[in-house]
Amino acid sequence: MKRTVTAILCLILTLGAFTSCAGCGKHPTDPAAKGHDYLPQWSTNASHHWHACSEKTCTAQIDRAEHTWGEATLVKEATIDSDGELKSVCTVCQRSKIEYVEFKNFESSFWADLAKASNYENYTLEENTTVGEVYASAIYSFTAATVYLTNVDVNSSEMTTEEVGEATADRLRSYYTSLFGTLIVLGEKCEFFPISRGFTSEETFDVTIDGKACKVSELMIELNEDLKARKLAFVLTDAENNTTKYEINLRNYGTTVKPE
């Protein structure tokens, strides 16, 4: 019985050795791939390349190997609205692949331009402050020569507007220009959230504002559709450890109107 089984197995192996590929008539597992006509061009998938038998129904292939990707080249810059693209090409078969790069932050030049004092020559801002449990709100309307201050009574919602003297106006203009410039430059260190076009930072920064040494923490900068600053929020702590929480909203950027 054992001899019979052995004979049958030998017969099966012998027949298998002479079995030909149904497509091209050649043996598909020949180590030297003799007898096949292989296409000169590479066949590829996402991970490998190879030379395939010219007969479409034949599965034989040679030179199969993983891609050897060359150095990636930036073909599209990432922007606030769309991902960037890195292109790599296999040095053997020339297949290419694209990798997408998320937008992380603006270049230093963007923050420098946004922080220019000329950006704030004419603007209106609403400043909300919290010192301990005391909340206050005021609106500053900056023109070329002066500043109009609208105080908001948080209890009655009544608003009163007065023209601030020139000396005080210059001081306020200098203060806010310095403040904006300082905070926006710090925005370069913030983490970017594309949905809200907002930037936040958990770091604490040493800054000089209006000639005083302070610390800025919980910094948040938000941009509008034109990539202009529309909101700043931060906590300012002075040398005496007095802490004020600020929220500044820019309105009608670049087109200040004298309040009624």
Q: How far is CA 45 from CA 38, 65, 96, 202, 219, in A?
A: 17, 11, 11, 44, 47
Buried b (16+ CB within 10 A) or exposed e, 14-27: eeeeeeebebbebb
pLDDT, tens only, 171-220: 887 888 888 888 888 988 888 787 778 889 999 999 887 788 999 999 99
CA distance 205 to 185: 11
CA distance 197 to 39: 52
pLDDT, tens only, 47-90: 999 999 998 889 899 999 999 999 999 999 888 888 899 999 99
Q: How do 43-44 and 48-52 pair as beta strands?
A: antiparallel
